[in-house]
C-alpha cells in the first residue's frame, strides 16, 4: 500500500501552532548537515530502530519522513510502521519540495539550539570578550575564573588554560562557591558560541553580582587568535556549600518562574503519563555520576546543558511535553529550573518535578536505549574464536556497520565498512563464495540488520560484536583499505577535536553569525527571550 504524503505547508503550520509533529530526515548525518528544515531531526535509515523509541515515545504521533531523492525515506517510513507507528507520511516532494515551497533550510547539526543561542545574544546583548583580551587578563593575573560549559569529555580534550569544567546546567548551582567575591570576573566558554552565550546569559539572568562575559567564539576563537589550548585537564567544579546551593536554588527558581516553567508533583506526573494525546519526555538533568547512583524510574539521563545545546538529539516531536527532574529528594533544583527556563524560551512546554517524589521509587545504573523487539529473521551467530578460524581459511568476510569514527579507531582485521543503508552495495563487493559476517560495536544493530540481507545470503552475526572480539583477546586493525567511499554517516564538527583547519573553524563562526537573519526570514520558530 502506498504511503500517504504530507505537504510542507502542513508541517510548517503545525510548528507555528505548537501542534505535535515530527519531521525526520532519513539520510545519513553528513548530507543532513548540508541542508535541512529547522526542526527536522536526523533519523537515518541505517539507525531507525536504535533511535525511534527514545525520540518518538508516542506511537500515534504524526511523523513525516523525507530524503532528497536518495530513496531512503520510504523504507525508513515502512520501518517506523513496522515498529508500531500509525501516523507516518512522506514529505511531499522531499527536501526539494520544502525548498520549492519557499521555506528555509539550514546547515550543520543541532541547529535549533545554535540558532536560539544567536537569537538570545541578539536580543539580550550578552556580554562577551575576545580571546586576546582574556589572555591578557590571565597573563596579568587578574581576578577571574574561566568556566567551561561543555561536557567534561570535551573539556578534557581541549580547554582554555586555567579553565575548570562546569557544564552549563551546573553554572548557577556552583558559581556562588567558585566565585564568592563579587569583584571576580566570570568568563564562560565552550568550543564555539552557543554554550558560551547560554552559560553567560544564565548567570546574568540569575542576577549574580559578578561581571560576566562569554569567551567570544570559544576555543575556536582562542585557536584562531594563535593561542595555545591545554589538553588532558581534570579540573572540575567543587561541591556547593549549603549557602551557595541555597543561593543557586533561589536564583534559578526565579528565572524559571519568569520563563513560565510549570511545576508539577507526583500526582500530576501520573496524569501526564496517562495522557494518550501527548508525547511525554522525562529527563534527569544531573551529572552522569549522580544519575547512575540513583534516579527516578522512567527518567532518561540528559545533562541539562546538553539538553539545551542538542535538544533534537533527545526529542524529535516538536510540540512535545517535557518534564525535568533534579534533586531526587524533591523540591525541584537549580539545574532543572535553569534548563527548563531555556527550553521554555525555545518554545517547549516544560515542567519541573517538584515536591515530595519519594513514592516514585528509585533505580540505579546508567541510562539505556529503549529498543524495539528484534525481528524474527533467522540469524546464526559465530563466536570470535570460530570467526578467526573462518577468516584464516578465507571462508568469511566481515562487514562492520558501526559508525565510521569507531571503525577508523579500530576494527576486525580485513573488515569492510558499510552503513546499514548501503549494505547491498557492500555485499556485492564481497569475494564469491565467502560467508558474510556482520558486526558492530556491541552487536545490537546487527540483529536488526539481518533482515536487510537477501534471503539466499543471510549473514552470521558475531557474538558480542566487535567488543566481544576484543574481549576474546583478539587484535584490531586501523587499516582503511576497505573503508570504501568517504563515509557520510557522521558530520565532522569544526568545533570538536584538535585537528580542524582554520578555514573550517572560521566558516563555522561566520555561519553562526548569520543565523539570526535566517530565523527572521523563517518565521516558524516560536522562540522568545525573557
Split at pLDDT 50, 70, 90, the class of 454 is confident
Split at pLDDT 50, 70, 90, the class of 500 is confident
Split at pLDDT 50, 70, 90, the class of 458 is confident
Split at pLDDT 50, 70, 90, the class of 435 is very high
Residue 499 reports pLDDT greater than 80: no
What is the per-residue pLDDT across 182-223, written as a single tens digit (0 to 9) for each? 999 999 999 999 999 999 999 999 999 999 999 999 999 999
pLDDT computed for residue 439 by the predictor: 97
Pairwise CA distance, residues 316 & 63, whole Å: 9
Contact 182/210 with Cβ under 8 angstroms? Answer: yes
Q: What percent of the chain has pLDDT over 70?
A: 99
pLDDT computed for residue 504 by the predictor: 86
Residue 242 reports pLDDT greater than 70: yes
Mean pLDDT in residue range 107-113: 96
Cell digits for 63?
511523523
Split at pLDDT 50, 70, 90, the class of 431 is confident
Split at pLDDT 50, 70, 90, the class of 365 is very high
What kind of architecture, by CATH, is found in domain 116-235?
3-Layer(aba) Sandwich (3.40)
Q: Which of 351, 219, 277, 252 is nearest to 87 (CA)?
A: 277
Residue 103 reports pLDDT greater than 90: yes
Of the chain, the end-to-end C-alpha distance in Å amounts to: 48
Domain 380-471 in CATH: superfamily? Rhodanese-like domain (3.40.250.10)
pLDDT computed for residue 1 by the predictor: 85
Cell digits for 506?
572560521
Residue 375 reports pLDDT greater than 90: no
For the domain bounded by 5-108, which CATH number is listed? 3.40.250.10
Query: Residues 6 or more apart from 494 whose CB is under 8 A from it?
Result: 220, 500, 504, 505, 507, 508
Contact 105/39 with Cβ under 8 angstroms? Answer: no
pLDDT computed for residue 128 by the predictor: 98
What angle (nearest 5°) sits at the alpha carbon of residue 324, between those of residues 319 and 327? 175
What is the per-residue pLDDT across 15-25, written as a single tens digit (0 to 9) for each? 999 999 999 99
Q: Which of 137, 270, 146, 254 is nearest to 205 (CA)?
A: 254
The phi and psi torsions of 385 (rounded to 5 degrees) equal -65, -45
pLDDT computed for residue 452 by the predictor: 85
DSSP string, 155-187: HHHSB-TT-EE--GGGHHHHHHHHS-STTSEEE
Cell digits for 386?
570460530
Place of cell 556491541: 442
Q: Which of 237, 107, 226 is nearest to 168 (CA)?
A: 237
pLDDT computed for residue 332 by the predictor: 84
What is the per-residue pLDDT across 441-453, written as a single tens digit (0 to 9) for each? 999 999 999 988 8
Residue 226 reports pLDDT greater than 70: yes
Residue 498 reports pLDDT greater than 70: no
Contact 529/345 with Cβ under 8 angstroms? Answer: yes
Lowest mean pLDDT among 99-103, 114-118, 410-414, 494-498: 494-498
DSSP 3-state of 121: helix
Split at pLDDT 50, 70, 90, the class of 432 is confident
Cell digits for 291?
544519575
Cell digits for 84?
508500531
In the chain, ranges of CATH 3.40.250.10 domains: 5-108, 116-235, 251-358, 380-471
Q: Which of 262, 263, 190 is nearest to 202 (CA)?
A: 190
The fold for domain 251-358 equals Oxidized Rhodanese; domain 1 (3.40.250)
Residue 524 reports pLDDT greater than 70: yes
CA distances from 84 to 58, 79, 133, 273, 319 (A): 10, 9, 56, 19, 21
pLDDT computed for residue 64 by the predictor: 98
pLDDT computed for residue 78 by the predictor: 97
Separation of CA 45 from chain center: 18
DSSP character for 271? H
> For residue 55, with 0-12 CB atoms within 10 Å meaning exposed, 13-18 middle and 19 or more buried, which class applies?
buried
Q: Are strands 349-353 and 416-417 parallel, antiparallel or unpaired?
A: unpaired
What is the per-residue pLDDT across 271-290, written as a single tens digit (0 to 9) for each? 999 999 999 999 999 999 99
What pTM did the predictor assign?
A: 0.95
CA distances from 38 to 9, 92, 98, 114 (A): 14, 17, 11, 11
Q: Which of 65, 115, 75 is nearest to 95 (CA)?
A: 65
pLDDT computed for residue 455 by the predictor: 72
Give the mean pLDDT of the chain: 95
* Helix, strand, coil shares, percent, the chain, to 5: 40, 15, 40
DSSP string, 441-504: SSSHHHHHHGGGS-GGGPPEEETTHHHHHHHTT---B---TT--SPP-SS---TTSSS---HHH
Contact 427/449 with Cβ under 8 angstroms? Answer: no
Separation of CA 39 from chain center: 14
Beginning with the edge strand found earlier in the chain, give each strand of the sheet holding 280-284 in spatial order: 262-264, 349-353, 321-325, 280-284, 300-301
What is the per-residue pLDDT across 309-321, written as a single tens digit (0 to 9) for each? 999 999 999 999 9
Amino acid at each position: 500500500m502506498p504511503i500517504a504524503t504530507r505537504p510542507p505547508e502542513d508541517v510548517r503550520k503545525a510548528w507555528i501552532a505548537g501542534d505535535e509533529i515530527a519531521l525526520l530526515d532519513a539520510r545519513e548525518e553528513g548530507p543532513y548537515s548540508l541542508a535541512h528544515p529547522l526542526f527536522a531531526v536526523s533519523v537515518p535509515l541505517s539507525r531507525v530502530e536504535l533511535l525511534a523509541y527514545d525520540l518518538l515515545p508516542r506511537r500515534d504521533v504524526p511523523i513525516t519522513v523525507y530524503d532528497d531523492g536518495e530513496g531512503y525515506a520510504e523504507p525508513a517510513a515502512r520501518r517506523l510502521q513496522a515498529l508500531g507507528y500509525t501516523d507516518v507520511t512522506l514529505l511531499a516532494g522531499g527536501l526539494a519540495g520544502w525548498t520549492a515551497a519557499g521555506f528555509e533550510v539550514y546547515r550543520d547539526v543541532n541547529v535549533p539550539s545554535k540558532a536560539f543561542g544567536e537569537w538570545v545574544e541578539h536580543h539580550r546583548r550578552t556580554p562577551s570578550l575576545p580571546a586576546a583580551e582574556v589572555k591578557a587578563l590571565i597573563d596579568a593575573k587578574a581576578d577571574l575564573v574561566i568556566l567551561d560549559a561543555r561536557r567534561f569529555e570535551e573539556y578534557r580534550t581541549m580547554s582554555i588554560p586555567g579553565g575548570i569544567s562546569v557544564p552549563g546546567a551546573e553554572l548557577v548551582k556552583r558559581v556562588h562557591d567558585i566565585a564568592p567575591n563579587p569583584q571576580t570576573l566570570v568568563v564562560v566558554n565552550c568550543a564555539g558560541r552557543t554554550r558560551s552565550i547560554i552559560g553567560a546569559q544564565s548567570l546574568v539572568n540569575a542576577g549574580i553580582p559578578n561581571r560576566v562575559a562569554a569567551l567570544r567564539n570559544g576555543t575556536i576563537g582562542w585557536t584562531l587568535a594563535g593561542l595555545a589550548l591545554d589538553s588532558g585537564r581534570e579540573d572540575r567544579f567543587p561541591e556547593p556549600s549549603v549557602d551557595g546551593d541555597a543561593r543557586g536554588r533561589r536564583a534559578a527558581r526565579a528565572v524559571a518562574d519568569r520563563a513560565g516553567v510549570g511545576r508539577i508533583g507526583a500526582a500530576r506526573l501520573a496524569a501526564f503519563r496517562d495522557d494518550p494525546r501527548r508525547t511525554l519526555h522525562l529527563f534527569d538533568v544531573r551529572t552522569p555520576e549522580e544519575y547512575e547512583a540513583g534516579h527516578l524510574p522512567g527518567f532518561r539521563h540528559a545533562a541539562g546543558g546538553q539538553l539545551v545545546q542538542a535538544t533534537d538529539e533527545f526529542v524529535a516531536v516538536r510540540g512535545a511535553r517535557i518534564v525535568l527532574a533534579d534533586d531526587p529528594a524533591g523540591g525541584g533544583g537549580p539545574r532543572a529550573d535553569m534548563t527548563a527556563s531555556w527550553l521554555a524560551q525555545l518554545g517547549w512546554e516544560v515542567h519541573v518535578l517538584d515536591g515530595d517524589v519519594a513514592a516514585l521509587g528509585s533505580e540505579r545504573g546508567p541510562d539505556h536505549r529503549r529498543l524495539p523487539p528484534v525481528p524474527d529473521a533467522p540469524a546464526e551467530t559465530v563466536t570470535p574464536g570460530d570467526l578467526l578460524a573462518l577468516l584464516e581459511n578465507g571462508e568469511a568476510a566481515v562487514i562492520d556497520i558501526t559508525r565510521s569514527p569507531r571503525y577508523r579507531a579500530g576494527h576486525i582485521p580485513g573488515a569492510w565498512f558499510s552503513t546499514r543503508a548501503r549494505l547491498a552495495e557492500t555485499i556485492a563487493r564481497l569475494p564469491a563464495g565467502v560467508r558474510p559476517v556482520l558486526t558492530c560495536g556491541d552487536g545490537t544493530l546487527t540483529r536488526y540488520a539481518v533482515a536487510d540481507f537477501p534471503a539466499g545470503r543471510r549473514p552470521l552475526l558475531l557474538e558480542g560484536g566487535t567488543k566481544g572480539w576484543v574481549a576474546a583477546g583478539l587484535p584490531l586493525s586501523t587499516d582503511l583499505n576497505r573503508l570504501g567511499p568517504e563515509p557520510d554517516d557522521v558530520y565532522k564538527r569544526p568545533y570538536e577535536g584538535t585537528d580542524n583547519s582554520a578555514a573550517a573553524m572560521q566558516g563555522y563562526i561566520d555561519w553562526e553569525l548569520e543565523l539570526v537573519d535566517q530565523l527572521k526570514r523563517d518565521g516558524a520558530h516560536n522562540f522568545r527571550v525573557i
